[in-house]
Each structure stands twice: as C-alpha cells, then as structure tokens.
Structure 1
Amino acid sequence: MNTDTNDERRTDVTGTFVTHRSTEQGDETVWHLTIDTGSEHRSVFLAPARSDVRFDLLTGREYAFSGVRVCTPAAAETVDDADCPSCGGDLREWTAVDDYPAVRAALPEFDVEDEFYVVDTATTFDAPDDERSYPVDDWRSWRTTTPPGVVCLDCDREFDSREFRLPTGEAHPTDTVEDHSVAAPESIGLATGGANDASNFRENVANGYTPRPDSLAPEGLFHDYRFPTRGDTDAAGMFVPTSSQSVSTNPVTGDEERYVAVGLDSSLPVSEFERPPLDLVAVLDVSGSMQSGFDEYYYDETGTRREVPAEERSAETKLEAAAESLCALTGHLAPNDRFGVVLYNGDAHVAKPLGRVDETDLAAIRGHIRDVQAGGGTDMSAGFDAARDLLADAPADEDRERRIVFTTDAMPNTGLTGSAALTDLVADAADGGVHTTFVGMGIDANAELTSDLSAVRGANHYFVHSSAEFERRLGEEFDYFVSPLAFDLSVDVDADDHAVAGVYGSPNADPEAGRAIHVETLFPSPTADGESRGGVVLVRLDPVAPVADDAEVRLHASWTERDGTEDETTVTAPLRGAGHDDDGVRKAVALARYARTLRAWADRVRGHDADEPVDDWRSREGQRASRRSRHERGSVPLRVSADDAATFEVLASYLREERDAVDDPSLSRELDVLEVLQAAVRGAEARR
C-alpha cells in the first residue's frame, strides 16, 4: 500500500531478508539491506538515526517494514539562473534522499541507481522474536508542507520556495548583505547589548500611532548606523575604548552642549573572529495575539479593542513572520551546533528536543514550524522555563554558547506577568550561563517590557515587522548577536569642571540621569570600510565651574572578557573648544538630540495610560478590554500639537544639515519620521 502525503511518499514492504552490509560516512554508520520481495530484490537503507535497530535478521526469513520512505538517487542536473543564497554554489532539484545526507553519500558504494527505501524514525520494523515497534518522530509525521525545492551542491543547505524568495522588487540577500570577506577592516567593532534597532518606533509612526518612548532606545538607534572603529589608538585588546568630543548648540533648546563619545573598539582581527559552537533553543510564541497581523487591532485610550479595516492591514500575521524568521535562522546553524524548539501559549511544549544539527532533519523541522497554529493565553515564563530546562539537560561544555532566541509580541497575561519577575527569570538564567535574544513581533510589541528583559547580562533584542526584514538582518548579524565577547563594562567619566548630565547608548542608562556608564554585555558588530554598527556610548557633560585652559576628560574603563579575564585601562584627552573631533561623534550627537526630542514628545502624548483606571461606562462595549494584560498597552493615535510641529521643523532642518555634513544619506529615515509627524498636524488643521 503506497501513501503520498504532500510529496512524502511512504510504503509498506514485506520480503525475505537476503543480506546486509554497512559503511561509514563521516562519524555515521549506514546499513544497506537487500530484501527479496518475490518479484525483485530491493535496497533498504537504515538512516543513521535508527541506531536502535537490531541485526539479528536471519537469511531466508520474512520481515515487514511499515512506512518506509520511498527515495530515488539525487539528480545531478543543476538549476539554471540560480545560486545558493548561503555560499553562492550551484543548486539542484531536491529529492527525498536529501533528508538523509549519510545515505545519499553511501549510494555509489552500493551501486544504487534505482528507487530504494529508507527506514527512518517514522518507520515501524517488525524483527523476529521481538514484538516491539520502534518509536515515531511525531514532528516528522505531522509534516503537511511541501519539501524543499532545491539543494546546494557545495554546502548541502536546502531551500524551499518560501525561503528562496523575497517580496517583489526587493533584492536577494546575496545582493544586499555586505561581503566582509573582501576588503575587510583590520578589526571588528563592538556594540552594547539591549536594543539592536529603532524600527518599532518608526513603524508605529508610519502606521499612525504614537510609539512608546522605550521603542526609541538610544543604543538601538545607534545600532542602525555605522561609526568609525579603532580611531588613532595603537592599544591592543579585546576591548579598546577611544574618546572623541563635540561642543555645539542644541537647535531645539538653544543651549551649548558638550559631549564625549566613548568608542567601543577592539583590536581583534575580523579574520580571527569565530563564533563559538551554539546550544540554541528557539522559543516561539503561539498565543492568540500572534495570529493577528502586525497592525490588525489596537486598544484605544479607553481600553476598548478596535479593529483596523481589512484593507489597511498587513498581509502577514505575526506568527507567519515569526515562523519564517525561525526557519531562516536554522540556515545559519553549523553542523556541530545543537538546536531545539519550544512552543508556548498558556502552557509550554517541547516541540523538538535539543539535538545536533547534523543529526536533525531541518527540512522537516522547518515544515513543522510553519504548520503551527496560534491560540490561547500567553505565559512567557512557561516558555522560558522549558527552554532553560532543555539547555540545562545538555552536556556541559564551557566552550559552547548557550542561548535562547525568544520570539514574541511580549504580552504575557498568565503565569509571571510582572516586568521585575520576568527580568529576574532571565537574569537567573544568565547567571547560569544561558543568554537570551528577544525578537519582538509587530508594531504593538511591548517595547518597555522587551527593553527591561534585554538589559540583562548577555541579552539583546530586535523588533521585526516582516520575515524578509529579519532574514536580511540574520545574513549580516547572526554570528555576532549570538556571541557576547565581554561583560560588566564600567566606564567612569571624569572631566575637569564638568559633571555627567546624561548617558546615551547604554541599555541600563536613563538618558537624562547623571551617572557613569555601565554596560552588561559587549557583542561583536558587523564592520565594513572601517565602520561598525553601533559601537558608541555618548556622555553629555554639564559645566559646574569655568573651564580651565588645561582641563581634561578621563575615561577609566574596566570589564570582564568572555573567558573570565578581567582588564582595565584609562584614556585621557584635553577638553576641546567648539566643534567636533570627527564625523562619528557629530552623528552620534545628532541622533541623541533626535532621540531626546521624540522620546519627550511620545512620553507627553502617551502620558501614563498603563496606570490610569478604565472608565467602565465608556468601555463596556469592548468587554475584552477588561481582560487585557498590563502589557497590552493602549495604542494612541498620532497627536502632534502646533508647538510640537514647530519643534520638529527645527529638528528636521538641523538633521538635514548634519546628514549632509557627515555624508550619511541613511539619516533620511529619521527625516521621514519627522515628515509624517508634521503631516499629522497639517491633516488635523485641514479637518478643522
């Protein structure tokens, strides 16, 4: 009896055992059985994962195999006009045997040219004198999606149609990701943990909402831009702090301001950077809120849930984008990495135990991830605990990075829901050597909670608004955001006649608080042409006395490297007069002023919506509003006053000047935000 379920053909085979042989393929053993079915001899291979199969078969005895995989030798023809998006190699059509690389490699040794069968973990095998049946891999048996379409002849990576395409009009990742192997800079850059972008802020504005202030974290904004590495220092070390200064007038306030930029540089050559082996558990939020689009609904100021008209919604749901993002992530794993998957809503489920990548059917796993459906509540703590338990059960190896990639819209409504309790959970795991990357899904993702969680040692976060966006980011940054290099960076800034008035670019800093820099984690940062993403923390200094001619600024830095080595250094420079030491500090100052202004506006508009009680009379039509969690904050429409608009016009003029002065066209994305805000005022005036 043959079965054919979405291109995964299986059949039952009964025949007389003739003989068997084995071969070693790398560190795996493949067994080849010859079975006489009565009309012909058929080849049956045992996939390496079936180490539980016994070989007490007797020649001439009949045996039954139920649900063997029907395979043919891999085609040799290459696919025209297409290259591997990972390594640029030739591609060929996928066949079922590609799910079993060791079996595929053994075919020439046994001269197999015709159709054959593979006994895998989805097959039951009745052996003589043994009544047991062998276990089924549930995830593989649930596969209902189309298998991969092509396989790379060089790196053996598999790609299906969804992994191989980008939305119309967008370039292929191999065209957009910078090639650091050509003209690579001498050393890597460094960047802080915490926020790794400011896209959530921009997306909220673009969709007509006032963002949460925390979605414009200065370190996330800095990470969206490139800054020079190394400077003019000859110092050597994993971390090499540098210093540059800026003294200029803030166009919004009219005040003269002095800034010191602390450059987060390194002398580690790019050619010597290699990420450690990974034990990685992907945690996927499958709660009901993930089934909505990125902008399908919002809560108004009264706590009532409001639906966005269908024609204005994004086509991709948060769960679809999260699933595609995790599928793309699997393509960046190395054979000796270990990978597991946890699903959670109101409960948690270990969907895939932690196992070596080269022993995992990643094509099947990607299919299962795409098949997941959303529903139920959101217990982030349950999902996190299940992932940490998986990593705790893995063999101890201090040379491996143990990391959880936690994909969520951060709206917990059961289990632990308090920010402090959840942060303690992540911090306790970090103390045990388990670090976390948070991937926030959707414009309604809770930026405040995500910022708190990612300020922990070894943690960072991204906001994602499409799977294609995350795939592009992965291509450039995967090896970097999973590889913390240094911890517990403290920088004491001591300037003659000045006091620290604010710190920008450290995830633990209040931008307006006067205190020294403390950074939990430094990650390597992608570099090109002597510049890296992020790589700067900005300190604003206020004068407390007249500045002497010989006044200096001193930076004393101490940190702990990944291997536990403690180090420290001091950098001293004279205080400069008006102007900028370089374009890097000038750009950082412009971005910090932009962030300060827009965060203040967002905070003023949103007020304290999380703390104010709901007016029951006004909200009773939306009964679901009373059940939303503290993390499902009201989505506030854009509100820009005439005074705000005037401020934004001044800020936009300043940013245009700075964009041209530092020759960085990418600053135009912030000008686009300011244009939308000013247009909101013009639209409101036109309606009056």
Structure 2
Amino acid sequence: MRPTSSLALLLLLASTFTWAGGDDDDDDEAEDIAPARMKMEMDFAPLEISAPAMPAPMAAPGSFSARVGGSGDIEDLYLALAQGILPEPGVLRPEGLFAMHDLPTRKTGPCDVTLCLLGEVSAAPPPAVAPAQALVMLGFDTNLPLEGWSRPPMHVAVVIDADPALVQHGGGGLVGAMLGLQANLGPQDTLSLVSAGREQAVYAQALAGDDQGGWITAARRVALSAEGQVSQGVARAARLLQETSPPGHLMRVLVLSTGAPHRMGAAPETLKAQAVTLAESGIGVTAVSFGGGLDTAGMAALAGAKGGAFGRAPSLEGVARVFGEDFEALFVPLVYRFGLEISPASGWRLSGVFGVPEAALTWDSAGVARLTVETLFVSRKRGAIYLTFAPEGVSGMPPAPLREGSALAEVRLSYQQLSGEWIVGTRRLAPEPMELESTGLRDGRALIQWLVTMREALAQHQAGDVDGALSRLAEMGWGPTEAARFPKEYAAWLETLALMQAR
C-alpha cells in the first residue's frame, strides 16, 4: 500500500478520502480491467482518513498540476471574431477555455503521490446553469515541485507540414517557432526534423537540444510541397526516433501544421490511429496547429489517444508562445487512463460537467457519470473540472436546500502511473463556507457563466432568433471586475454583441 499518513492534509472540510495502490503483478491486464478496478478499492485494503478542521486555507506549496486537454483551442473563437465572423457554437469547448487560465484549487498541504484530486463545493453556482444549486471544482495537484524537479531527457522528432499554405501564415516565422521549442530543451535532449512533403526529407537527425545553429540551418532548409500528408511524416519521424534515440529518453513526435483536413491524412482518425500504435512502442504524438482551417475532428481524436496531445496558436508567430506557456502540458505525460466516477447523493442529480472532452464522458441510467482521459500531462497552469448539481425534488414538495457538511456526491478516482501501477481512491463532496472559496472556484464560476451564455446565444442566432440571442448576451452579468480579470473573454463578448447587432 502507498503511504497515507499525510493524505489527510490534502482534504477540505467535511471530506473523507480513501487511497490505495496496487502492485505491478498484473500490469499486462491493467488496460482491460481498469473500469472494474474503480469499484474494487477493498482489494487494496484502503485506509479511510477523516479530514481535520482547518480554520483557513493554508499557503499552497509550489508544485506542478495537470490539465485535461484542449490546449488553446478556444483560439478558434477569437480568430473568427477577429475576422468579423460569428463562430459556430461548437468552438466553445470548456476544456479549451480553462486551458488558457490558471485555476488554483484550495490546498491544505503537499501531495504525496503522483496525482492528487482536490475538491471544493459551493452552494452558489453561476446563474446560467439554473436550476443547478451547487457548483463543484475538482482540481489537480502533484508531487512534482516547481523548483528542483527535472523532467527526463527527451528526443523530439519534429514533422513540418510543408504545405505551401504555410507562406500565408508567415513561412518566415518557422525559424522563430523552432527556436521557441528549443528554448525549452537542453544539452541532455535530442532534436530531429523531417518534412511531411512527398520527398520525406530528413533535415536534421539527432541534434543536441542546445545546438541552436544546427537547428536554425535545418529549419531554413525546409522546402514547401503541395504533395504529401502529415501522417506520412509521422511514420518517418517514428522510425527515426526508434533508430536514433539515446537510451532513457522520452520519445515524442511533434507535428507542426496548419491543421487543414487534406493535410492531416485520409480521415480524421488517421493521426489518432498512428498515435495509438506508436504509444505501444513508447512514442507519444503532439500536434500544434496555427491559423484557420483546423481539422478539429482530427485534433480532438488525437487528444483521445494514449500519449496524444494538441496545442493551438492563432498564427505561426504565436507557436513560440504556446511552447513557452504549455511545454510540459504538450510533451511530458503524468499519468495514463485517468478516470473519475461521480455518484450524486440521494436527492441530487449531476446536471453539468465542464472541462473534459465530450467523447470522454458517459452516463448511466442511475445518473452516475464516468469519464476517462487517456493521458494527463504535467502542467504549470493548474487545471480543473467543474460539476453542477441540481436537486431531484420530490413530487409536490420543494427541494431541500443544500447545507454545509451535507453529502452532495462521491467521486472515485483511478489512474495508471507511468510505471504501470494503478492508484484508486474515493472522496466525499460536501459544501463549505463561502469565505473559504479559492480563486479557481470563483474564476470557474465566472468562466462557466461566460461559456454557457455565449454558447446559447450563438445557437439562438444560428437558429434565426436574433432578438433572443441579443437578450441572452445581455444577461451575461459581467462588469468591471470581470473585464479586468478576463480581458479576452470580455472583449469577445462585446465583439459578439456588436456583430449580432450589425446584422
């Protein structure tokens, strides 16, 4: 069993947590039995610990967190608005929105295991999610300190999509994008560069991570080609990784592309299928796209593969910023097969889940929600998932109000460590005093209000109900505080209003 002596410090008021770890004897079958093991904590003799009463939040030690995908894909909304286009409601994905923000959950101590689940409950959900009466924030913490932790060395094989359209996005910025990647690497790392063009050219092979001159020379040699697909370049890069990677290095293919469907492969699932196959050989796949015309289905599929990750930049020049802000979240896996099972207490139903890809979420007839994310990556930005709960109600009777300390739900957690060992735990969720709310809970409430309002207004406008859409946007309820805290979202709201009023 894993150490549990300090786990109580991680818990919030009115919470209990059980934790257990399994051995490695059955790693080969872990993939197949993961869902069952979520319900078999007693096989590992878990220890239940009651949380001590904490008078106030303690200062949180600096540690890495984790995020659930969607790295910057909300940029599609801002790109459309900048071009004077009202976007499709579907571009408003909460995981992409949350990925742009640091959402710290209240902590009461250090995390002693690879990944810890933190939780907060509020009886004040955003008005846009009525009739919900409770908002839950599930945050992540790790045992990786921000200061002093060194990631393993890695060999990154970059696949440049040599689409001639690259010129439209500032082909001269390719060197800058590559230097943005290299800024996160050191002499212990290795870099290679191949093209997705017909010739499958290898422009650099196993350069030292700090060989800036060699890297600039290689990037300048990339030849644009109207022929070839990214999937072909990925296959070539994978072979190069297998043939030249030093022992002990993480191996990752990085696809840098405009993300246009005709360049990504024969079908949206092509890149995902490659990622699934390569993961069996210890190779992860990351795609970073820029500009418009993104193959959204293909990128979402990639994020659903083991070891798969994707990032989004508004332009080629913005790619370096993505590498600077989200390097670990795009390249360094933390755990595999992250799963949650959310069981509402009697009298309550789960009415909304924000922050995970829709494909990762399933519901059963009893109202229990289960989600599985193939890979969680290390992240400097603190990620979160938000849940809303509404009362079931009793026929002819008003619903009972949510009270501090009363059970709202139980959450079961499972994940597979990189070593293959499985960790399983549970926690009980109950509301707490408003004065204990974290910044992440308050910000999450405001962002959900923005997200739901914008998405519903865009859907109404798309259906031809312009007046209804304008009325919905007017209900946002944001003011100077939100404008200062969320300038991009505030500007997008105003721009959406202006575009609707002009039509």
Task: Report the TM-score when normalising by structure 1.
Answer: 0.57
Note if contact 2:128-2:452 (Cα within 8 Å) is conserved in structure 1.
no
Note if contact 2:194-2:236 (Cα within 8 Å) is conserved in structure 1.
yes
Structure 1 or 2, whichever has the larger Rg, is 1
CA distance in 2, matches of 1:558, 1:464: 32
The CA deviation at 1:198 is 2.1
Note if contact 1:279-1:339 (Cα within 8 Å) is conserved in structure 2.
yes
CA distance in 2, matches of 1:655, 1:428: 46
Note if contact 1:214-1:451 (Cα within 8 Å) is conserved in structure 2.
no
CA distance in 1, matches of 2:479, 2:72: 24
| Matched-pair identity in % | 21
- 2:333 aligned to 484, 487, 507, which one? 484
CA distance in 1, matches of 2:185, 2:325: 14
CA distance in 2, matches of 1:604, 1:354: 53
Higher relative CO (Cα under 8 Å, sequence separation at least 6) belongs to: 2
Residue 667 of structure 1 aligns with which residue?
A: 486
Kindly report which structure 2 residues correspond to 1:220-235, keeping only aligned pairs within 5 A, or say none. 220-229=96-105, 231-233=107-109
- Which secondary structure state, in structure 1, belongs to the residue aligned with residue 426 of structure 2? strand
* 1:522-554 Cα shifts (integer Å, max 9, x gaps): 22222xxxxxx2410112223334558643422
Uncovered stretches (5+) of structure 2, i.e. residues with no partner: 1-58, 394-398
CA distance in 2, matches of 1:344, 1:565: 37
- Which secondary structure state, in structure 1, belongs to the residue aligned with residue 147 of structure 2? helix
- Which secondary structure state, in structure 1, belongs to the residue aligned with residue 205 of structure 2? strand
Q: For residue 379 of structure 2, what is the amino acid of its counterpart? A: S
**Which 10-residue stretch deviates more, 234-243 or 253-262?**
253-262
Residue 156 of structure 2 aligns with which residue?
A: 280
Residue 560 of structure 1 aligns with which residue?
A: 416
**Structure 1 position 678 matched with structure 2 position 497:** yes
Q: Give the structure with the higher percent strand.
A: 1
Are residues 192 and 353 of structure 1, via their aligned partners in 2, closer, same or farther at CA, if it must alter by over 3 Å?
same
Residue 112 of structure 2 aligns with which residue?
A: 236
Residue 264 of structure 1 aligns with which residue?
A: 140
**Structure 1 position 656 matched with structure 2 position 475:** no
Question: How many corresponding residue pairs?
Answer: 432
Residue 341 of structure 1 aligns with which residue?
A: 193
CA distance in 2, matches of 1:347, 1:642: 54
CA RMSD of aligned residues (A): 3.2
Q: Give the structure with the higher percent helix.
A: 2
The CA deviation at 1:239 is 0.9
- Which secondary structure state, in structure 1, belongs to the residue aligned with residue 124 of structure 2? strand
- Which secondary structure state, in structure 1, belongs to the residue aligned with residue 356 of structure 2? coil
Residue 406 of structure 1 aligns with which residue?
A: 255
Kindly report which structure 2 residues correspond to 1:468-507, keeping only aligned pairs within 5 A, or say none. 468-497=317-346, 498-507=348-357
- Which secondary structure state, in structure 2, belongs to the residue aligned with residue 584 of structure 1? helix
CA distance in 1, matches of 2:446, 2:192: 42
Are residues 410 and 226 of structure 1, via their aligned partners in 2, closer, same or farther at CA, if it must alter by over 3 Å?
same
Uncovered stretches (5+) of structure 1, i.e. residues with no partner: 1-182, 294-316, 527-532, 608-638
Note if contact 1:212-1:448 (Cα within 8 Å) is conserved in structure 2.
no
CA distance in 1, matches of 2:116, 2:129: 34
- Which secondary structure state, in structure 1, belongs to the residue aligned with residue 312 of structure 2? strand
Note if contact 2:336-2:375 (Cα within 8 Å) is conserved in structure 1.
yes
Residue 72 of structure 1 aligns with which residue?
A: none
Are residues 218 and 568 of structure 1, via their aligned partners in 2, closer, same or farther at CA, if it must alter by over 3 Å?
same
CA distance in 2, matches of 1:603, 1:379: 34
CA distance in 2, matches of 1:479, 1:420: 25
Q: For residue 355 of structure 2, what is the amino acid of its counterpart? A: G
CA distance in 2, matches of 1:225, 1:677: 21
The CA deviation at 1:365 is 3.2
Residue 26 of structure 1 aligns with which residue?
A: none
- Which secondary structure state, in structure 2, belongs to the residue aligned with residue 521 of structure 1? strand
CA distance in 1, matches of 2:106, 2:416: 20
Note if contact 1:505-1:537 (Cα within 8 Å) is conserved in structure 2.
yes
Q: For residue 680 of structure 1, what is the amino acid of its counterpart? A: L
Q: Which runs of 4+ in 1 moved over 6 A?
A: 510-514, 577-580, 604-607
- Which secondary structure state, in structure 2, belongs to the residue aligned with residue 352 of structure 1? strand
CA distance in 2, matches of 1:657, 1:222: 21
CA distance in 1, matches of 2:307, 2:63: 22
The CA deviation at 1:480 is 4.8
CA distance in 2, matches of 1:481, 1:606: 34
The CA deviation at 1:577 is 9.0
Note if contact 1:219-1:534 (Cα within 8 Å) is conserved in structure 2.
no
CA distance in 2, matches of 1:668, 1:525: 23
The CA deviation at 1:214 is 4.9
**Structure 1 position 518 matched with structure 2 position 372:** yes
Q: For residue 535 of structure 1, what is the amino acid of its counterpart? A: G
- 1:585 aligned to 426, 438, 441, which one? 441
**Structure 1 position 191 matched with structure 2 position 67:** yes
- 2:77 aligned to 201, 210, 226, which one? 201
The CA deviation at 1:601 is 5.0
Kindly report which structure 2 residues correspond to 1:616-631, keeping only aligned pairs within 5 A, or say none. none
The CA deviation at 1:442 is 0.2
Are residues 543 and 320 of structure 1, via their aligned partners in 2, closer, same or farther at CA, if it must alter by over 3 Å?
farther
CA distance in 2, matches of 1:370, 1:599: 42
**Which 10-residue stretch deviates more, 504-513 or 452-461?**
504-513
The CA deviation at 1:229 is 4.5
